[in-house]
Amino acid sequence: MIGNTYLKVCGQTRLEDAQVAADLGADYLGFILYPKSPRYLSLERYKEIAPTLPAGPRRVAVMVEPSLEALGEAIAAGFDLFQIHFSHTTSLETVRAWSGSVGAHRLWLAPKLPPGEDVPADWLPLAATFLLDTFHAGGFGGSGKTGDWGKFARHQQTYPQHTWILAGGLNPDNLTDAITASGARTVDVNSGVETSPGVKDHTKLKQLGDVLAKIG
């Protein structure tokens, strides 16, 4: 936690970036196990670097509509938490199966919600945490564009028993406005603190930390 805000730095591919994020005070490190992502990290590579990753932040496996077999492999690899991106048309049975595999307390659901649509009430008991990213018709997250901060605020206010994570195009320049407008207590940064996909900009990371510290 930096100030009063929890921080996740996603798209980790390099040990040095993970260490800078940890030194900064990041609470979570995200590793994208989705081959179509430009920040893809194979499970095999994750297992290689896992023993030397900083011990403080919790490790989040970021997956897109995984099979139960793939999810089981990620569980076996020792991740702490599981962030699953999926279409809003995904069946309730599928979401329930993910929850049953990892437990609601370790599941972060990241539904791809079209503009104007809210998180369905049926999903709420299946995860303790929901991540709201910017809607991107051609993919799952990673667009680098900011989302609907008012929609985020409404969800967080309506369902305070859940943890809500704000994602989507966050960077040192817009973070203050984003937190002010959304009321987010946990934020997820990725492309906004990079020099290229999967390569973090250490200066931007430190600037982001300064912003969070000033917000308090």
Question: What are the domain boundaries of the chain?
Answer: 6-215
Residues 6+ apart with CB under 8 A from 103: none
Least confident of 55-64, 72-81, 99-108, 137-146: 137-146
- Indicate the pTM of the whole model: 0.94
126 pLDDT above the threshold of 80? yes
Question: Taking phi first (over 0 means left), then psi (-120 to 50 degrees means alpha), and beta for anything else, what does residue 114 get?
Answer: beta
Q: What confidence tier does 147 reach under pLDDT thresholds 50, 70, 90?
A: confident
- As a whole number, mean pLDDT of residues 38-45 equals 97
**CATH number, span 6-215:** 3.20.20.70
**Distance between terminal CA atoms of the chain?**
10
140 pLDDT above the threshold of 60? no
Count of helices and strands (H, E) across the chain: 7, 10
